[in-house]
Structure 1
Amino acid sequence: MSDPIGMPPLQFAQTNGIRMGFYEAGPATDRPPMILCHGWPELAFSWRHQIKALADAGIRVIAPDQRGYGATDRPEPVEAYDLEHLTADLVGLLDHLAIDKAIFVGHDWGGFVVWQMPLRHPDRVAGVVGINTPHLPRAPADPIAIMRKRFGDMMYIVQFQDPAREPDRIFGSRVEQTFDAFMRKPLPRNDPPSTEPPAGGIAASPSLNLAFPQMIAAYDPAQDKRRPILSDDEKQVFVETFSHTGFTGGINWYRNMTRNWLRSEELDHTVRVPSLMIMAENDAVLPPSAADGMEKLVPDLEKHLVRDSGHWTQQEQPEEVSAKLIEWRRRRFG
C-alpha cells in the first residue's frame, strides 16, 4: 500500500496482542492528546483534515487504523473484535506512547468504541467526543434481534451476521463501487426522521433501504445524482487499502454486537468526563434525534449540530468539525 496522501508518517505499536498502525502529529508535549477513531468502512485517513488542523493548532493528535483495518493486524477469530478488545487496543496504544490520559474522538463505529472507553477504562480517559454516534443505554434485548424485527432480514447489520460471509464477498469484489456509492453527500430526504428509540444504535426510519450489500451489487454511478465527497486521489486510498485488506475485519465488529450486549450487563453506563456530541443534520442512519436524552447518561455534555452534512461528517464538513474540536478542547482542557 502506498502512503496515504496528506498523512504524517505511518508508525506502529505493539498493543493487546496485535500490531497497530497509527499516524501522529502535533507537539509531543501537548496534554491531553486527542485520539481519533474511525468507523466502517473507513481508515485513519478519514481524519486527514482534522489531523492537520489540530496539529496546526498546537494539539497532539493520534489516529490509528483500528483492529481489522488498513495497516493494523486482522486476527482471524470473530470474538477478537468485541468491545473488550477494541477498547484495550487503545489503552495499549496509550501505553506504547507513554500517555496517561487522552480525549477519545470517534465517528460511526469509532463512536461506539470511544463512548465505551470511560466505562471500561475510566482512569485513561480525559474526555470523549462522539461524531454522529450517540451514547445510549444498554438495549433492553439483543440488538440484532431488535434490528431484525424493526428493519427485516435484509438490513445490512442483520446480513452481516451471516457466517458464510456473503456481504464480505459482495463488498470485496466491488471495492471501487463500494466507495463510489458510500462516499457521497445525501440528497434531501422527504421521509421524516424516525421518532422510535434507536435499535442497537441505529435510529433510521424503518422505511429507509438498509440492504447495503444488494445496493452495492446493483450500483451504477452513472445513475447517481449525489455529489462525491472524495477526490479521485482520496478515493483511491480507500480502494487500494480495502482491495488489500478486504472488509471482513471491520464487519467482524458488527458480528460481536450480541456478544457485546451480553457482556455489558454489569457495566455502569454513565459517562463521567467532559463530553461533546457532534451531530450531522442529514445523517439518515444516525440522525440528530438519536442523541435526544443523552444528558441522562452523560451529565457533562455539550451538543453541536453540523448542518448540510450526511454521515461522513468529518470529511463532508471538515472545517466546521475541526474548528469545533479545537474550540472545545481549548475551552475545556486549556
Structure 2
Amino acid sequence: MDQRHYKQVKTQRGFTYSYYFSAPAAGKPFLLFSHGFPSASYLWLKQVAFFQPLGYGLIVPDNLGYGGTDKPTDPSLYLGSGLVQDYVDILDAEKIDKIIAIGHDWGAILLSRALNHQAERIAAAAFCAVGYCPSTVPLRDLFGSEVFAYQRFFIHPDGAPLMEKNIDAMINVLWGERPELVKETMSVNGATRACIESNRRTPLPTWMTEDDAEMIRTSLLTGGLTAPLCWYRSVNEQAIIDEDAAVPPAACEIHVPMLFVAFKQDFIARPEFWTKTHKTYPKGPLTLKEVESDHWGVMSHAKELNEILLEWIEGLEV
C-alpha cells in the first residue's frame, strides 16, 4: 500500500501505532480493518484498493507487534481493554466518532473485545473467518481443541527463533498449497515444529504471487516474531483472563448490525465453531455469508469478499 498514506500516533499506553489513513468523501463512513497473525496492515491491500476509490474513509492499523507499530514482548499487553483503548486513541487523534469495523483472525477477536469495552464507537461489525468471541467464552476454552495443536509450538520459547530462521517453511505451513494440508501441518501435535525444523518447502498456493510472499517475509523478518506471538501467549495471562471474566454479560450482547463471512475451506477457524455464539449474542441484524476459500480468503477471494462487504455496508442505516 502507498506508504504516503501511513500516519503514526502515540497512544495513552505509550505505544506508537502506524496506520494507513484515507479521508472519506462527503457522506461516506470510516471503515477500520483489523488484521491477525502473522499479517500486518498489508493483509487488506485489496480491500483498500477497492474501497478507497469508492470514497470510503479508511483506517488500517498495523496492530501491536506488527509492521511500523511498537513491538513489546510482554504478553499481558496484548488483547483486553488496553488494546481496545489503543484503537480508541487512534480514532480520537483523527476526530472519528464511529467506525464500521472489519476483522480477520486475531483482528476479529480484537474487534470482539472492542464491542465488549467500547461498543459506542462501533456502528457495525464484520467478522471474516473468525467469528464473534465474547469475553464470556474464555479463549483458552476455544483454543483447547486439537485443531489448534500448532499453538503449542507458537508459544514455546524456541518457536519465534525457529520460524525466523526458516521463514519460508513457516510461510509454507501457514499458506499451504492446498487447504487440506493445514490439517496435516497445524492440527497434528508436533507437526508444525517438524515442518519448520526440517525447513520443509512446498509450492505456494496458486493465488499467491512471489511479491506477496516477499511482502510477508520482509514484514516478519524486519520486526521478528517474538512480539506477534504474544497474541497467543496472552491467552494464558491471568490479568487478561480476570478482565474478561469481569465483563458483564450484557456487555457481550451485540446491538449493532453484524456480518459474519465464513471461509468454508478453513480447517482451523471452522465455520461451525461460531454457530452457538452467533445464535446467542447478536441482538441486532445478523447477516451470514460464505466464501469458498481457506483461511486467507481476504487475499485469495478478495473480489468476492469485497462485493459481500460492499453490499452489506450499503444496506446499513448508520
Q: Which TM-score band applies after superposition, normalised by the shorter structure?
A: 0.7 to 0.9
The answer to whether the 8 Å contact 1:184/1:228 transfers is no
Of 226-235 and 127-136, deviating more is 226-235
Q: Name the amino acid aligned to 1:244.
A: T
CA distance in 2, matches of 1:281, 1:257: 26
CA distance in 1, matches of 2:245, 2:255: 18
CA distance 1:10–1:304, shift in 2 (3 Å): same
2:38 to 31, 38, 41: 41
Using the size of structure 1 for normalisation, the TM-score is 0.83
Q: What's 2:187 paired with?
A: 208
Deviations 1:273-326 (A, max 9, x none): 11100110100001221221313111221111002x000111010001111111
Deviations 1:62-86 (A, max 9, x none): 1110001011011232211132222
Deviations 1:12-51 (A, max 9, x none): 1222311111112352645531100001000100100001
Q: SS of 1:106's equivalent?
A: strand
The answer to whether the 8 Å contact 1:7/1:45 transfers is no
The answer to whether the 8 Å contact 2:149/2:187 transfers is no
1:287 to 270, 273, 277: 270
| Structure 1 segments (4+ residues) deviating >6 Å | none
Given the alignment of the two structures, is residue 324 of structure 1 paired with residue 308 of structure 2, yes or no? yes
Q: Name the amino acid aligned to 2:260.
A: M
The answer to whether the 8 Å contact 1:7/1:48 transfers is no
The answer to whether the 8 Å contact 1:185/1:310 transfers is no
Q: Name the amino acid aligned to 2:290.
A: L
- Structure 1 residue 179 displacement after superposition: 2.0
Structure 2: which 5+ runs fail to align? none
The answer to whether the 8 Å contact 2:253/2:282 transfers is yes
Q: Name the amino acid aligned to 1:290.
A: F
Query: How many aligned residue pairs are there?
Result: 308
CA distance 1:26–1:49, shift in 2 (3 Å): farther
Q: What's 1:128 paired with?
A: 125
Q: What's 1:166 paired with?
A: 158
CA distance in 2, matches of 1:316, 1:34: 21
CA distance in 2, matches of 1:188, 1:156: 15
Using the size of structure 2 for normalisation, the TM-score is 0.87
Question: Sequence identity of aligned pairs in percent?
Answer: 20
CA distance 1:331–1:313, shift in 2 (3 Å): same
CA distance in 2, matches of 1:330, 1:146: 33
Q: What's 1:302 paired with?
A: 287
CA distance 1:134–1:236, shift in 2 (3 Å): same
The answer to whether the 8 Å contact 1:23/1:64 transfers is yes
Deviations 1:61-118 (A, max 9, x none): 1111000101101123221113222211111110111100111111000000011112
Q: SS of 1:302's equivalent?
A: strand
Deviations 1:120-169 (A, max 9, x none): 012211111110111245566x6447745x429x922233443xx21111
Deviations 1:219-267 (A, max 9, x none): 432xx36624321112111111211101111110111113333321122
Q: Name the amino acid aligned to 2:115.
A: P
CA RMSD of aligned residues (A): 2.7
Q: What's 1:261 paired with?
A: 241
CA distance 1:8–1:138, shift in 2 (3 Å): same
CA distance 1:8–1:312, shift in 2 (3 Å): farther
Structure 1: which 5+ runs fail to align? 192-203
Q: SS of 1:111's equivalent?
A: helix
1:277 to 250, 253, 260: 260
CA distance 1:151–1:139, shift in 2 (3 Å): farther
